[in-house]
Amino acid sequence: MQTRRDFLQKLGASAAGLPLLPYLSEQAGAAPYDGPVLRVAIMGLGGYGTRVAEAMQACKMAKLVGVVSGTPAKIEAWKTKYGIPDKNCYSYENFDKIKDNPDIDAVYVITPNGLHREHVIRTAKAGKHAICEKPMAVNAKEGQEMVDACKKAGVKLLVGYRMHFEPHTVEIIRMRKAGEFGKIQFFQGLSGFKIGDPTQWRLNKKLAGGGSMMDIGVYSINGSRYMVGEDPIWVTAQETKTDPVKFKEGVDETITFQLGFPSGVTASCLSTYAFNYLDRFYLVGEKGFAELNPSTGYGPIRGRTHKGELNQPVVTHQTLQMDSMAGIILQGKEAPVPVDGEEGVKDLKIIDAIYEAARSGKKVEIRL
């Protein structure tokens, strides 16, 4: 079996011997952090939940203090490994009681896409801040309902856009904003891997909301926006399916899509579950270019521009993400690129439009 997380983990395997730089300001010589800490419960103790939990051990501003799972054996294992008290452990059935627990500030929802809406809304009603893995929901309507619920409850909703904090990515965004590439002209985003086990939830329409587009393709969608610095206004798309048994109705195998932006920039992107070695962003401007390859793997990200190789710090993405999100929630800080629920809804509107374009064969207008 191979999932996106297995694939991205292999891309980052060579980072194992590199120094951990979880909090850049401290590594730069700032005094050790001595301020409020975001106390987090993780909902969904699968592969990625485990990765986040491990990364959080190095956080300065965020701490893993609770778990939510439907598997008692996992709860017991996490209690022992991470020192989580019984009172901070919940099942999906009794989760709503978390509202009476003052020792948990936020819940990180890392369950299948089709469950995000329910779990985030329950989190909001319990009065806890919500961090939700991407894609935030299975369509824009559900995503907006999540945003509205969190606003009504007076809690924050953040989306797990770890790349919005990754140093190589942030440096290219800085260069683009500074005009170092000149007028942007073109973007290419390639995101894909060959998926394994046909029984996994990512190939279940109800749980995943689709196929590769709802898993790996969202990286190229979101990446096109932060690399170009604009939001798209139209899309065309084409779907290819070579294995209709594995990729049933509503579960996309491969989609190529083209985005148009207000300035005239175009983007050519690909999302696939059919083949490997696709993790590359390429940006072209009148004065230069930028490339990230790998562009979204767990690390190390590698980049170069017309000025040479990028040598930004190598970080554990989830450690930096969680510390940064703690700063957003507790101190009102801003992310280099937004990570709020509205950002998540924009990506979902684009995904909805991509599916419509692939189905109809027509150019579809995007209104964000």
Give Cβ neighbours of residue 338 (< 8 Å, ≥ 6 apart).
164
The pLDDT of residue 299 is 80
The pLDDT of residue 205 is 98
- Residue 9's region, left for phi above 0, alpha for psi from -120 to 50, else beta, is alpha
pTM (predicted TM-score): 0.93
Asked if pLDDT for residue 180 goes beyond 60, the answer is: yes
Name the amino acid, one letter, at 151.
K
- Residue 326 belongs to some domain of the structure: no
**What is d(CA 210, CA 355) in angstroms, rounded to the nearest whole number?**
9
Assess whether 202 and 157 both reside in one domain: no
- Residue 325 belongs to some domain of the structure: no
- Residue 233 belongs to some domain of the structure: yes
The pLDDT of residue 4 is 52
Domain stop point among 162, 182, 200: 162
The pLDDT of residue 32 is 81
Tell me the pLDDT tens digit for each residue of 356-366. 999 999 999 99
- Tokens 């964000």 identify what position? 368
Assess whether 229 and 96 both reside in one domain: no
- Residue 295 belongs to some domain of the structure: yes
Assess whether 177 and 223 both reside in one domain: yes
- Residue 135 belongs to some domain of the structure: yes
Q: Which domain holds residue 209?
A: 163-312+340-365
CATH for 348: 3.30.360.10
Tell me the pLDDT tens digit for each residue of 302-341. 999 999 999 999 999 999 999 999 999 999 999 999 999 9
**How confident is the prediction for the chain on average, in pLDDT?**
93
Bond preceding residue 300 cis, omega within 30 of 0: yes
Q: What is the CA radius of gyration of the chain?
A: 20
Assess whether 44 and 17 both reside in one domain: yes
Assess whether 202 and 222 both reside in one domain: yes
Give Cβ neighbours of residue 294 (< 8 Å, ≥ 6 apart).
11, 12, 279, 280, 300, 301, 302
Assess whether 124 and 168 both reside in one domain: no
pLDDT band at 1 (very low <50, low <70, confident <90, very high): very low
Q: Interior CA angle at 157 toward 153 and 160, to 5°?
A: 160
Bond preceding residue 36 cis, omega within 30 of 0: no
- Could you tell me how many residues make up the chain? 368
Assess whether 126 and 257 both reside in one domain: no
CA torsion through residues 136, 339, 173, 225, sign: positive
pLDDT band at 17 (very low <50, low <70, confident <90, very high): very low
Tokens of 316: 């554990």
Buried b or exposed e, range 257-271, using 16+ CB within 10 angstroms? bbbbbeeebbbbbbb
The pLDDT of residue 22 is 37
- Residue 29 belongs to some domain of the structure: yes
**What is d(CA 107, CA 1) in angstroms, rounded to the nearest whole number?**
29
Assess whether 131 and 239 both reside in one domain: no
Give Cβ neighbours of residue 319 (< 8 Å, ≥ 6 apart).
20, 22, 23, 55, 56, 58, 59
What is the average per-residue pLDDT within 165-181? Answer: 98
Asked if pLDDT for residue 115 goes beyond 90, the answer is: yes
Assess whether 214 and 239 both reside in one domain: yes
Assess whether 235 and 182 both reside in one domain: yes
- Residue 323 belongs to some domain of the structure: no
- Tokens 């986040």 identify what position? 52
Asked if pLDDT for residue 28 goes beyond 50, the answer is: no
Using DSSP bridges, classify how beta strands 89-90 and 303-305 pair: parallel, antiparallel or unpaired.
Answer: unpaired
> How many domains does the chain contain in total?
2
**Among 26-40, 45-59, 211-225, 268-282, which is the least confidently predicted range?**
26-40
Measured CA distances, 318 to 30, 105, 172, 265 (Å): 21, 18, 20, 31
**What is d(CA 22, CA 40) in angstroms, rounded to the nearest whole number?**
17
Using DSSP bridges, classify how beta strands 129-132 and 106-109 pair: parallel, antiparallel or unpaired.
Answer: parallel
The pLDDT of residue 8 is 52
- Tokens 């491990």 identify what position? 54
Domain stop point among 162, 179, 206: 162
The pLDDT of residue 33 is 85
Name the amino acid, one letter, at 321.
Q
CATH for 113: 3.40.50.720
What is the average per-residue pLDDT within 232-256? Answer: 98
Domain stop point among 128, 162, 196: 162
Identify whether the C-beta of residue 323 lies closer than 8 Å to the C-beta of residue 64.
no
Closest residue by Cα to residue 255 from 222, 296, 207, 218? 218
- Residue 329 belongs to some domain of the structure: no
Assess whether 125 and 170 both reside in one domain: no
Asked if pLDDT for residue 287 goes beyond 50, the answer is: yes
Asked if pLDDT for residue 16 goes beyond 50, the answer is: no
Closest residue by Cα to residue 7 from 363, 298, 231, 244? 298
For the annotated catalytic residues, the residue numbers are 134, 219
Assess whether 39 and 107 both reside in one domain: yes
